[in-house]
Amino acid sequence: MIGNVRRRVALGMIGSGSIVGTLGPFSHSAGAASPTAVTPGAPPRGKAGPAAMKQSAAMRRAYADGPYGQIHYLDAGTGRPLVMLHQAVMTANQFDYVFAPLIARGLRPIAIDMPGFGLSDRTPFEPAVSDYAAVVPAVLDALGISRAAVVGHHTGALVTNEVAIRYPERVSANILCGPLFISDEQRAVLIADIGGRERAFRALPHAAHMNLLAEARERYANGSISAERISDYVVQAMLAVQRGAYWYGHNAGLNYRQEEALMKITQPTLLLTNTGDMLYASALQARKMRPDFAFTELEGGGIDIVDQQPGPWSAAIADFLAAAVD
């Protein structure tokens, strides 16, 4: 009974906007999700985005030696370097549909599978956000890059914040897509609810666990993402399950206190948000805390804004970096 009450409270705080919810897409494997607005300029309903924007041969796969083992990443090879950090429980392939438009604007996407996700080795311990941040310098060293801009989405935004303050000499600019500010009471409820369910997540007969994830993502997308792409999301999540790290990302994010960390950032920074994102209120709070940061707001969308509006999302980043002082 207590568990059910905690779950209802967590879902209610997220749905009402009094808490700007979770850090990624798989936290609610059951229960209704808020509808996703689809706005002009977004891909047609039922479509993830133009097929031409999906990952192409321009992105090469590679590994770097990191502090916890091998780090897998995708690299465009030429252009101004832009490190890309995904949300939990996805992988570098979260950014499949924005690689092409970013490359077209002269950028070099370098999308990293964070430890325990995708094809990167997991940490041998329960990681904190700071532990995820440590892989970024390792990848830059492997590529011979001294400084790069860094963009992170949801969990990745928290890691981006930590990279900026722990390795300031390696970061030329930041793009934060989904900061997180919650009270201690909300934090405790969410850790118990989300953390408990993610730790208990197990394979079920007939792959029913995969169906549950697909259904949750379909509710969040509300018809804006194709069945093929929803399948991609589930495959990405299963890689974290396979590595025993499924609960690591949200656990690290929910235990991260960004209020002080945000104030320590010294590089040019863009807050990139969308009005349909569950973390939209946190982005507005971050704007008040750091009025010196650039701010771009896309209309509508949801947690899948990278797929729903790949063109506007990429353009916002490219325009900011073109104007930012390196």
Find the mean pLDDT for residues 6-35: 36
Q: Is the pLDDT of residue 24 over 60?
A: no
pLDDT value for 325: 59
Closest CA to 108 of 84, 136, 72, 135: 84
Kindly state the tokens that stand for 50: 């133009």
Number of neighbours of residue 264 by Cβ within 10 angstroms: 12
pLDDT band of 72, cuts 50, 70, 90:
very high
Amino acid at 315: A
Q: What b/e sequence results for 97-124 when a residue is b if at least 16 CB atoms lie within 10 Å of its CB, and e otherwise?
A: bbbbbbbebebbbbbbbbbbbbebbbbe
Encode pLDDT of 230-259 as tens digits: 999 999 999 999 999 999 999 999 999 999
Encode pLDDT of 27-48 as tens digits: 433 333 333 333 333 344 445 5
Using alpha carbons, list the distances in angstroms from residue 8 to 2, 126, 129, 194, 326. 10, 27, 27, 12, 46
Using alpha carbons, list the distances in angstroms from residue 128 to 13, 246, 254. 24, 14, 10
Q: Is the pLDDT of residue 310 over 90?
A: yes
The model carries a pTM of 0.87
pLDDT value for 3: 41
pLDDT value for 324: 87
Q: Is the pLDDT of residue 298 over 60?
A: yes
On whether the CB atoms of residues 152 and 175 are closer than 8 A, the answer is yes
On whether the CB atoms of residues 81 and 290 are closer than 8 A, the answer is no
Q: Is the pLDDT of residue 71 over 50?
A: yes
Kindly state the tokens that stand for 13: 């705080």
Q: CA-CA distance, 253 to 196, in Å (whole number)?
A: 15
